[in-house]
Amino acid sequence: MNTEYRYIFEKGSKKHLCPNCDKKRFVRYIDTQTGEYLPEQYGRCDRESKCGYFLNPYKDGYTKAIWEREQGNKTDWKPQQPKRKKKPVNKPKRTFIPVEVFNRTRAGYEQNTFIQNLLTRVAFPFEVQDIEKVISLYHLGTVQNGYRTGSNTFPFVDINGNIRAIQVKHFDEQNRTKATDFLHSIIEKYHTRNNKPLPEWLEAYNKNETKVSCLFGEHLLSKYTYNPIALVEAPKTAIYGTLYFGFPEQPTNLLWLAVYNLSSLNLNKCKALKGRNVYLFPDLSKDGKAFELWSNKATEIQKRLQGTYFHVSDLLEQLAPQQDKEQGKDIADYLIKQDWRLYRKKQERIVFRTLKKETSQPEPEPVETSTRENSEKRERQKKTFFSQPEPKLNEPNYIKETERIELPKKEQPENWGNDIAELENYFASIELPTQPIKLNKGSTIKNCSLFIESHFINVKKNDGKTRFLPYLSRLHELKNHLNNQDFSIIP
């Protein structure tokens, strides 16, 4: 009778990595019947005093379970999983921006320069409904007070609805970027300046390795599962693309997403695009560097994302004069000068023709037509207000559904009676500051009560006259300024 053990230590001097100390001092077990190793957790580390790891298959039920199985008996015994101490199994958990903080951005569109430009100042203003729709789709918002008031917010919401970053963009009246920031940085600055401790979530958020770790518009991928994807650098371009080429509820329309900037196109960010058809529109650059960079990256990423197809559009490269290339213009700069109505139907032609790299006629410049909104209508659109949704506390930290944002179609009231009464009540209810106040870059108020008094005289005498609207606006501005002493974007 064979009394020798079936499972023995491997003979010879071969050593393996120890599952406990990760040193190459581990002797594994062999099944002498099959000549094969036992699972890698069985064996003994020969660093007896420093490590001492030893897992014996006769002691933890392994040999018995094998025997049972060989007898044809069922057993639900399972070996312990091998543990590797040093492997970075527990990556630090990513912290997201709380929904309450995000919700505070979702109003104030009447003072949002980016949005108001699209409604009134661009060459071909957009319909209110389209702007509402694009705000809802991409969760655009406003910095409503304090530092960077009137800036637009572009939240980066991932495919699971988590808010990974909120970019803050300050635009001029041509929608050119004047400054770029992040909401978390603004909130941090506010706290530091006022010697307040950072909110708990922000402490944790700052430990995230990367802040912009998903695509802008990524949350739309799970809702629009069939659309081809257009990928651009900047969120603003994705918004323009949507407004010009049409909304994604039409499954043949492009779904516009943005990576954040030229250099941040990478595999991790593109994982959410798996299985999709993706058209990339890099910005222009000197010597086509941006185009080249994205082409190379796209090839690399495509290889590692099965079933995903990247096509890099050289539309701009083909059409743009050298000067524009040096200025790094993008598709948004071209689009915004033209009438969006001409584009809604022809995206297929533009995108696909270019991608096939046909070098025939360039797309003719759309003819400027007299389709501008009349100024009256624009004036009305400019005065749209809507109520701020109450931040709901304790809701899960992700956005479930696209909420419909509505810009009310309320007409501008004929007179300012309500406004004036409200402002008078406000100024009567507070203690007016005695020191000079810097209202904005251009104006400083030396004597607050005189300023208020003279302004009220003017607005009351000229109630409803557009020419005197600036007086009313300045009173509002002062009220906002005084209110901002408690920066309400901060929890």
Task: Enumerate binding residues for Zn ion (CB under 5 A).
Answer: 18, 20-21, 45, 51, 53
Contacts of 261 (CB under 8 A, 6+ apart): 233, 234
Contacts of 257 (CB under 8 A, 6+ apart): 215, 216, 217, 218, 220, 221, 229, 230, 231, 232, 238
- Burial state string for 361-376 with b = 16 or more CB within 10 A and e = fewer than 16: eeeeebeeeeeebeee
CB of 80 to Zn ion, least distance (A): 16
Q: 46 or 406, CB closer to Zn ion? A: 46
The structure tokens listed for 349 are 């032609």
Give the closest residue to 270 by CA, choosing from 327, 310, 243. Answer: 310
CB of 32 to Zn ion, least distance (A): 24
Residue 233 amino acid letter: E
DSSP H or E stretch at residue 378: helix 375-382
**Beta-strand runs (E) in 233-303:** 255-258, 277-281
Beta pairing class for 277-281 and 229-232: parallel
Give the closest residue to 106 by CA, choosing from 385, 388, 384. Answer: 388
d(CA 218, CA 255): 10
CB of 223 to Zn ion, least distance (A): 50
d(CA 158, CA 220): 9
Q: 54 or 468, CB closer to Zn ion? A: 54
Q: 45 or 254, CB closer to Zn ion? A: 45
DSSP string for residues in 52-72: --EE-TTTTTHHHHHHHHHTT
Q: 22 or 100, CB closer to Zn ion? A: 22
CB of 15 to Zn ion, least distance (A): 10
Q: 51 or 399, CB closer to Zn ion? A: 51
Contacts of 397 (CB under 8 A, 6+ apart): 96, 98, 99, 162, 163
d(CA 227, CA 236): 20
CB of 18 to Zn ion, least distance (A): 3
Q: 19 or 108, CB closer to Zn ion? A: 19
Q: 21 or 159, CB closer to Zn ion? A: 21
CB of 84 to Zn ion, least distance (A): 11
288 φ, ψ (degrees, to nearest 5): 65, 25
CA diameter of the chain: 117
CB of 81 to Zn ion, least distance (A): 17
CB of 39 to Zn ion, least distance (A): 16
Q: 15 or 377, CB closer to Zn ion? A: 15
CB of 62 to Zn ion, least distance (A): 19
CB of 45 to Zn ion, least distance (A): 3
* Under 8 Å between Cβ of 98 and 398: no
Check residue 90 and report its DSSP letter.
S
CB of 31 to Zn ion, least distance (A): 22
Q: 48 or 200, CB closer to Zn ion? A: 48
d(CA 474, CA 486): 20
Q: 24 or 196, CB closer to Zn ion? A: 24
The label of the residue with tokens 């120890």 reads 18
* Under 8 Å between Cβ of 201 and 393: no
Q: 13 or 73, CB closer to Zn ion? A: 13
